[in-house]
Structure 1
């Protein structure tokens, strides 16, 4: 046997020494857009894009036909497509709307795993043998989802997770043993499709950027490197990407006994018939599970959520997790899953109140030594305050305990958003952006839920307004009196500032100083949602200062200063 033939035999043996599992992936294109339409957040007939306040994260086919692409800034996308409907990203909405699709798949195939909303992973071997062929399995899944969930989808089958994901996007069935060849011409950026957490997405993005800077632009070029060199140069994340590029699993099959599963459960007494009560218990369980994983220095590849009802029935869902999930990410998955079960569109909600919740971390593997954050652990007071807030939330409902989040905007009302306690406290709009026309600081300490109706008059009793040039009308007028009108004919007290001592009642207040006006004109290019007007700051005699705005000739009190 010649040396070249021996080398080729060794390479073939190395490729076949470890075979990746045969996986089927069901993918719903542009799922965040479809979820927005199903939930009523966007019209079905218009081009739609979903954004995270910075760039577009999902775009439908109508918008793509006009040049709109993921990763574009909103202003650029609107310049290409003036009729584009922009919808804020909502992961909870995506999960709730995806539950009917998962239940439809579970009706024909067992062992379904949700990788992320819009993407389902399942083993292809058993189901394909049961229905006859892999082509028949793909046709069955597509037809079932279309009939029962009313959603179009694509199915791909291949060896290994990455190849199956890309095959689903292409609508292909990759023959066994050819996944490496199928992946060879793909860009290294396609590694990002397997990410399920923010941490894993960031690590794979850094890896792909580094590979491209080194001149390794395709998965085939990456797979031709030696495994030892990849580990030495790129570390563990490089090894995972290297195995995926070769059509294998991200981690090799372990020959030793795996770590035992980590299970946490809670019996609900009284049984939980409301979503907020079940979500409160689920949040505590998710935090307990994450703490146990941290103490063991481990991560899990799958999270199984189980809910049992008074009638004895069980609801089970398995989530695929890539890398170390934070406590917030685990909590969100469990809470969203409960919302999908209890408030979903599928009509398969529990027939009785829930009596038990159980979370199981499966495929547990060591993740290195766990350590506290840079500034140490949370103080005892912070932990007690958090538990108290969760308890009140469980009693009153998830939407009754809110926390403010600062974000970008021009008016004080736009610069603060209230989110449910426990949700990610991140603004949808960057506050550090320029925001031309923003109201100058200091901002009002109190912004009422609903602006107060008011009237602004001059010393002679004549009305004061703002003209088209952004100046007070009549010209040269000095505002002298502010009258706050009662609500529904009642003279209700209105609290201003942080304390309860200073109050404002409906009535007339003499103006001792003023600044402005500051004209505003937002979304003038849209037929709906356009806003125009002008803000004026007023200093009142014997009362706190106020920020008033005039719109369509009417004055409103928008905020109260300390």
Structure 2
């Protein structure tokens, strides 16, 4: 991860007078002035570090077969976010392919946050790769914003060995965009700095403003300045609360008004653990229950959390803490995610940096709250449509968490529709609470995939079957997966043979072709069998034949 640190520059928006040269930025500003430290392409940097690869190699992180982050080397040859994997590899054949893993990103970012905390207090982790700190006190102590910014860049680059950039502005949003440009924005000049920037800058991670940005672009509003020029009354009437917040940011304001409610101390949630937590999966499981309780306590007072403090005490008295800042109010799932990410950073740190004992006490504290109406959930949408939750979905989630508490973290599963050819391959069970995301390649063509409709019942273990022709001889398959004779009767396990009314297939598949001497042939066959009695309805089954296996025929599923 050791790379050459990038020095601060003042290229962006200088012609508009919004950015000060670093040697001129030596004044102390009010408390709402923020410094943001940004590590470019952090998901790729963390993935390369986890794989033991140099950070300068071309690499990209993929989610659902699309690029979600790529290195500067990959971008130099045309790889971009949102690009399909096949197109990215065609433009850069030597690109390293990584899987999206927020837990990994958080684990490798903890040393960076700790390095920032060595110089300044009040560090807020916005997300892995981005931290924010109030700049006024530190700038006064270190001799001005310029001195503090350069010292912080050098310290983080030397201590954590990562490339980083710093931006300073009034408010988190403007400071984040300034960090992307290594710029210091003069006090009160946010609007001038933001004016020429693209409207797509509003679509920051976890901001839920993708649809708004897309609509603004189609309306011809291509810059933040053009959006900010609209009357606020018109923006609210046309775009609602989401548009109002975007308009406030585009105009140079902050995510929330400066005077925020001070959380009552009794809203903190504390839990002791016996035995102590020394595994990330156990901590993640405990965090789900604790985050639900924490969120419910806030909701009962009409509040939602925007800055989450995570405090822990180990069995040997070591005190750990970290504050996570969020642009949007946190949901129970968002709280649990950040607790899990933090434990990834604490418990899986390098030797000598991780705690010497397990965590015996965990406390969640709302460092900053807003009115609960800021977390307005959808009225009709369920948890599987857009990520919003209805009361029914919330009650079901609490019930599943309760059952999981009785059976353990691996006692409750939900199904994820995944890639594959057969019905068993296309369904993956995920423990409740884990990310329900399909794997890379789930939407690939998959030659030989079973055509629709899929069987309603899929057996956990294939059921043996026997297929015979009209003369009573066993029906098998050839090397090309062709049937040796039309199927006439099928017997499932030790049951009596039933006559085949109709059949379709076979659909051939070459299995394990990538394994030397391990390739095989398989075929699937749909059959409609007569009922056991004359009045019984017909039964539709999905049969599978595999060369060289005993039994050759098995029942994979049953159609309704």
Specify if TM > 0.5: yes
Q: Which residue of 1 aligns with 2:226?
A: 221
CA contact (8 A) 1:56 1:74 kept: yes
| TM-score normalised by the chain length of structure 2 | 0.74
User: For 2:459, what is the secondary structure of its paired residue?
Assistant: coil
The reply on whether 1:24 has 2:29 as its aligned counterpart is: no
Distance in 2, matches of 1:400 and 1:290, equals: 24
Instruction: Provide closer, same or farther for how the CA distance between residues 134 and 190 of structure 1 changes in structure 2, counting only shifts above 3 A.
Output: same
Q: Aligned to 1:152, what secondary structure does the other structure show?
A: coil
Query: What displacement does 1:32 show?
Result: 1.3
Residue 385 of structure 2 corresponds to which residue in structure 1? none
Candidates 246, 252, 255, aligned match of 2:257 = 252
Deviations 1:315-370 (A, max 9, x none): 11111122232221211111221122112347422222322111112222213397
Counterpart for residue 291 of structure 2 = 286
Secondary structure of the structure 2 residue equivalent to 1:466: coil
In the superposition, relative to structure 1, how do residues 391 and 131 fare at CA in structure 2: closer, same or farther (>3 Å)? Answer: farther
- Post-superposition CA distance 1:413-436 (Å, at most 9, x none): 541223232113343469788755
How many Å apart are 1:141 and its aligned residue? Answer: 2.6
In 1, distance between residues paired with 2:547 and 2:174?
58
Counterpart in the other structure of 1:421 = 432
Q: Which residue of 2 aligns with 1:353?
A: 358
In 1, distance between residues paired with 2:394 and 2:188? Answer: 54
Q: How many residue pairs end up in the alignment?
A: 497
Q: Give the counterpart of 1:335 among 332, 337, 340.
A: 340
* Partners of 2:168 and 2:179 within 8 A in 1: yes
Question: Matched residue of 1:332: which SS?
Answer: helix
Q: Is 1:263 matched up with 2:268?
A: yes
Superposition pairs of residues 504-523 of structure 1, within 5 angstroms: 516-520=505-509
Give the conservation status (yes or no) of the 8 Å contact 2:68–2:81. Answer: yes
Secondary structure of the structure 1 residue equivalent to 2:214: helix
Aligned to 2:11: none
Going from structure 1 to structure 2, the CA distance change for 1:465 and 1:92 (only over 3 Å counts) comes to farther
- What corresponds to 2:69 in structure 1? 58
Aligned to 1:155: 166
1:274-331 Cα deviation digits (max 9, x unpaired):
4444333322110111122222332222011111122222111111122232221211
Task: Give the alignment's TM-score, normalised by structure 1.
Answer: 0.74
Question: Over residues 394-420 of structure 1, what are the superposed CA-to-partner deviations in whole Å (9 max), with x where a residue is unaligned?
Answer: xxxx46754432224323454122323
Aligned partner of 2:401 among 386, 407, 410: 386
Measured after TM superposition, the shift of residue 145 of structure 1 is 2.6
> How far, CA to CA, are the matches of 1:42 and 1:215 in structure 2?
43
Q: How does 1:375-454 map to 2 (within 5 A)?
A: 376-377=391-392, 383-393=398-408, 398=409, 402-428=413-439, 436-440=447-451, 442-443=454-455, 445-446=458-459
Matches for 1:468-487 after TM superposition, within 5 Å: 471-472=481-482, 477=484
How many angstroms apart in 1 are the aligned matches of 2:352 and 2:515? 37
C-alpha distance in 1, partners of 2:150/2:36?
13
Q: Which residue is equivalent to 1:495?
A: none
User: CA, structure 1 residues 133+160, in 2 after alignment: closer, same or farther (shift >3 Å)?
Assistant: same
CA distance in 1, matches of 2:554, 2:111: 43
- Partners of 1:182 and 1:170 lie apart in 2 by 11
Mapped to 2, the partners of 1:462 and 1:408 lie a distance apart of 30
TM alignment of 1:74-153, pairs within 5 A: 74-153=85-164
**2:169·2:190 contact (CA, 8 Å) conserved in 1?**
yes
Report the 3-state secondary structure (helix = DSSP H, G, I; strand = E; otherwise coil) of the residue aligned with 1:318: strand
In structure 2, distance between residues paired with 1:520 and 1:350: 51
Provide Cα deviations, 1:414-467, integer angstroms capped at 9, x if missing partner: 41223232113343469788755312454582356xx99xxx9x9999996534
Distance 2:473 2:55 in 1: 54
- Counterpart of 2:523 in structure 1 is 535
Contact 1:282 1:357 in 2 (8 A): no
Residue number in structure 2 paired with 1:9 = none
Q: Residue 323 of structure 1 is aligned with which of 316, 328, 331?
A: 328
For structure 1, the residue ranges without an aligned partner over 5 or more in a row are 1-17, 481-501, 505-509
Match of 2:12 in 1: none
Q: CA deviation at 1:392?
A: 3.0
Quick one: distance in 2 between partners of 1:371 and 1:365? 15
Alignment of 1:460-475 (within 5 A): 466-467=479-480, 471-472=481-482
Q: Is 1:67 the counterpart of 2:78 in the alignment? A: yes
CA distance in 1, matches of 2:161, 2:519: 37
How far 1:381 sits from its partner (Å)?
8.0
Contact 1:310–1:353 under 8 Å retained in 2: yes
1: CA distance, partners of 2:511 / 2:147: 53
CA contact (8 A) 2:174 2:190 kept: yes
Measured in 1, the distance between the counterparts of 2:446 and 2:79 equals 24
Cα separation, partners in 2 of 1:554 and 1:212, compared to 1, 3 Å: same
Cα distance in 1, alignment partners of residues 441 and 507 from structure 2 = 22
